[in-house]
Amino acid sequence: MQTQFNIHEAKTHLSQIIEQVESGGEAVIARAGKPVVRLVPIETPPGRRVLGRLAGQFKIPLDDSQPLPETPAAFIDAMEGR
């Protein structure tokens, strides 16, 4: 299908142009033969965050009287039960 339209064509066939773009194409709208605007589909937004996605992957020490490890690597090892 045609990918470049003049402004009059774009106004007349806007719904058809949008369908073309939604199906993976792109369209250019021109004024006096010069491209002015490119219509492209909007990216889908990322999905919603899932709470608890990491549940069960880390162990929190039950004895909270122990001091925290001094280095980040030691902290990660302690959280992972190493």
pLDDT of residue 32: 93
On whether residue 57 sits in a domain, the answer given is: no
- The residue among 15, 35, 18 whose CA lies nearest residue 26 is 18
Q: Are 4 and 35 contacting, i.e. CB atoms less than 8 angstroms apart?
A: yes
Question: What is the pTM (predicted TM-score) of this model?
Answer: 0.50
On whether residue 63 sits in a domain, the answer given is: no
Residue range of the domain that includes 13: 4-39
Q: What is the pLDDT of residues 14-24, one digit of tens each?
A: 999 999 998 88
On whether residue 35 sits in a domain, the answer given is: yes
On whether residue 82 sits in a domain, the answer given is: no
- The residue among 19, 17, 35, 36 whose CA lies nearest residue 27 is 17
On whether residue 16 sits in a domain, the answer given is: yes
pLDDT band at 58 (very low <50, low <70, confident <90, very high): confident
Q: Are 12 and 31 contacting, i.e. CB atoms less than 8 angstroms apart?
A: no
pLDDT surpassing 80 at residue 53: yes
